Amino acid sequence: MYPTVRLRRNRKAEWLRELVAETTISPTNLILPIFVIEGKNQQQEIKTMPGVYRYSIDKVIVTAKKAAKAGIKAIAIFPCIEQELKSDDADEAYNLDNLLCRTIRSLKNAGIDIGIICDIALDPYTTHGHDGIVGDDGDVDNDKTVEALSNQALVLAKAGADIVAPSDMMDGRIAAIREGLDDEGFINVNILAYAAKYASSFYSPFRDAVGSSKGSYLSKATYQMDIRNVKEAMREIEQDLMEGADMVMIKPGMPFLDVIHAAATNFESSVFAYQVSGEYAMLKFAALAGAINWQESMMESLIAFRRAGASAIFSYAALEFAEILAQR
């Protein structure tokens, strides 16, 4: 009796749909970004990212404990430093007692069983908001920036960072950072390379969160990738892996699912995705307006990253959804 093949049979019940699901997600696939500020008992909501906060160090520790309890295996810490500490050369990034270093040490002293990832880029520390040192020509100087990034990575490794994550997109920075870490005995500090970071309009809320926004669009097109290119992304990934990266990141996530898939298909390396601030804000504001269901749409987007080939996902909703997944 027609039809012999009925694909709907495997969809007839929830338990059966679970048995045949091709893609799964668990709290271990999620990484929680956390913004840190000075002070004590501080919690500042970020207006462009409803439900996301800047925390003082004591509250970062509380949040990290919740994340570990929910099954999340790593957090990523981003500092929002005082304006008077910023400079053209990002001197505060190399201060062994800066906000980020103190946060790392406090987390380690708290004995939380969770990995600590730290961004390697200068934009939170520069007056101009660029990810590196600006030269006389007005563009970011690649080689001076690589030297600065190597110093920053070493400072964070000394503080206790488990993974350093260069997000600057300078040429040659992975090799320089790896050499600098190894020379100082930090051979077991991992490098997560933001190997394909695109010059995207989806970063704006993040720049508000870390205080690197200049009030108008800041072009980083001379060092971040052109959104039209995929083959170039594969070259960037290949280069970073050859230079010593342990894992690679695609950023943003949802607009570049094809790049995530291509990376996961072409390279025998763990590929991470970053559901960036603009992606989070889009879904959150749409949900607050009643246009979509928050929980269902966020879950769908996280599954999409996994389906594309991402082994781990940075998401500002990570803690909330880890707790939901744990309950299931």
Give the residue numbers marked as catalytic. 197, 251
What single letter denotes the amino acid at residue 37?
I
Residue 236 tokens, joined: 């960037």
For the stretch 286-293, contacts whose Cβ atoms lie closer than 8 Å and that sit 24 or more positions apart, written own/partner, are 288/50
For the residues of 212-273, what is the DSSP string, one character each? Answer: ---SS----TTTSBPTT-SHHHHHHHHHHHHHT-SEEEEESSGGGHHHHHHHHHH-SSEEEE
Q: How far apart are CA 285 and CA 50, in angstroms?
A: 8
Task: Give the residue carrying structure tokens 């870490």.
Answer: 181
* Residue 252: cis peptide before it, omega within 30 degrees of 0: yes
Strands 247-251, 270-274: pairing kind: parallel
Kindly state the greatest CA–CA separation across the chain.
77
